[in-house]
Homo-oligomer: A and B are copies of this chain.
């Protein structure tokens, strides 16, 4: 059942999103929207391409999330004076408290998800997931092996 690791991760991630979405329902943003907001908070004025790169998703995914967050009034697109193809993304004032609230909720949920694990196990888990993520991240880039 080795192959099930991939789906174990999938389940855990989906259940995490679902649980956080449920907690955050009153904020009006989803867990994944919040993650984007958190990146914008730390990188005000970033382009969508930059954000897509950091989130490791396709630009079109960010494009559509930005659409929704703009419509909801949480962020705004400003034209980039140096590149008329690009937008610069900024949080609006009203998004600030949401980002803070969600951080607390996410921390609580992580604590619940890691229930029963010792501090050492938690650190080990984070280390291992990070490694797996890096392994999978790189395997998407290169053309597997000699497909050229």
- A residues near B, CB below 8 A? 2-3, 5-20, 22-23, 31-32, 35, 56-57, 103, 106-107, 109-117, 121, 124-126, 128-133, 135-137, 139-140, 144
List chain B residues, Cβ under 8 A from A113: 5-6, 132, 135-136, 139
Number of copies: 2
| Interface contact A15-B133, CB-CB below 8 Å | yes
C-alpha gap A110/B7 in the complex (Å)? 10
The answer on a CB contact under 8 Å between A110 and B11 is: no
Which B residues touch A19, using CB under 8 A? 136, 139-140
Structural contact, A128 and B117, CB atoms closer than 8 A: yes
> A128 — which chain B residues lie within 8 A by C-beta?
117, 121, 124-125, 128
